Amino acid sequence: MGKTYVAILAGGRGERLWPKSRVVCPKQNLRIIGKRSIVEDAVRRAKRIASGNVFIVTNKESIGNAPRDVRRMGKRRLIVEPFGRNTAPAIGLAALLAHREDRDAVLVAMPSDHIVLDNKRFYRSIGIAVKEARDRRAIITMGIKPDSPRSSYGYIGVVDKVYKIPADSSYKVLRFVEKPTVGKAKAMLKSNRFLWNSGIFVFKTSVLLDALRIHVPRLYRGLNSLPDIREKRIFDKRLNTLYKNIEGDSLDYALMERYSNTRVVPSDFGWSDVGSFDSLYAILPKDKRGNAVLGSCATIDTENCLIYSTEKTMTGAIGLNNLAIVISEDAVLVCDRRRTEDVKLLVKRLKGNIEHQKFL
């Protein structure tokens, strides 16, 4: 039986969490729950699953600001992309390197910037997925039990109705649905045949690479042309050339929507992609008036708000309802909590103004 590896994908920007998530401190570096950053928690979970067989895939823009746990990874374990190219190249690269070490390896690919509240359930579900990946030679994804019809998440549709979550096995995937309307999401949840797409994948490296050979041949050929990672200078030069000549697609789009043998493990381990301040609000504890508070804050007649301050800045709120109020050292965000997805549009506007780019 081959070894289990983990690849942590740590190249994201988290623009919807501005002004907390910045170029110098992206979302995965934030300390939201507890004393460790999101990526440090991810590294701990990965080491529990795979011991020393953990890769971190990041890029040149992110590596300089990464926590010590990330920077301390050995040269063969820290994969630095020349620039971000989405998840298909990143996961394919990690699969290739794990496969070169162990031809019978199983790889767990997971984002660095997601929160898991119940580690015990997480390890159990990952264990089931690893077994299913070995036994069925399928690409397994982790599906999350939905608690509301969110239009900001992708969904995984299955052939059979799902009644038990967490499940003890995997289900055949019927289709992937990307960010449906709220109305459509309500109908999908009512059918008991849809789960949230967590972006966590589990597969035998041989299966993933063979699937890339068939469905994404250009990426496959480019990956196979790379030399041994120990030849660092040549490896980095070839990788740079490869990334300039491939499409920057997600694994979902490039492969999962085309590949026939995909399965999902229905799971419930307190997962959140923390993709917006409303997603963050959903997982935080609330006071008796429905407010979720991080940092120093005092409120009067304020309800259902997210107030994300700092320890050094006292934030006061009076007579407010359903807002996200986010304070950083040099920027403040105030918005309707139902429109926190639009923070990315605000960031785009900042990028277009030379005077405002210093706040990115």
pLDDT at 66 over 80: no
Q: How many CA within 13 A on the CB side of residue 284? A: 24
Q: Contact, 318 vs 307, CB < 8 A?
A: no
pLDDT of residue 173: 95
* Tokens 């490039």, located at residue: 254
In 3D, which of 170, 185, 176 has the Cα closest to residue 156? 176
Burial class (CB in 10 A: 0-12, 13-18, 19+), 41: buried
Percentage of the chain beyond pLDDT 90 is 75
Look up residue 75 and give its DSSP letter: T
- Of all residues in the chain, the percent with pLDDT exceeding 70 is 96
Round the average pLDDT of the chain to a whole number and report it: 92
- Per-residue buried b or exposed e for 84-100, using 16+ beta carbons within 10 Å of the residue's own CB: bbbbbbbbbbbbbbbbe
> What are the pLDDT digits (tens) for 291-325?
999 999 999 999 999 999 988 899 999 999 999 99
pLDDT in tens, 172-209: 999 999 889 999 999 999 999 999 999 999 999 999 99
More confident residue, 100 or 34: 100
Res 168: pLDDT: 92
> What single-letter amino acid sits at 173?
V
Q: How far is CA 300 from the centre of its chain?
A: 36
Q: pTM score, two decimals?
A: 0.93
Whole-number pLDDT of residue 74: 62
Q: Render pLDDT for 141-164 as a digit per residue (tens, 0 to 9).
A: 999 999 889 888 999 999 888 888
| pLDDT at residue 70 tops 70 | no
Could you give all domains of the chain from N- to C-terminal order, each with its CATH number?
Answer: 4-272 (3.90.550.10), 277-359 (no CATH)
Residues 330-346: pLDDT tens digits?
999 999 999 999 999 99
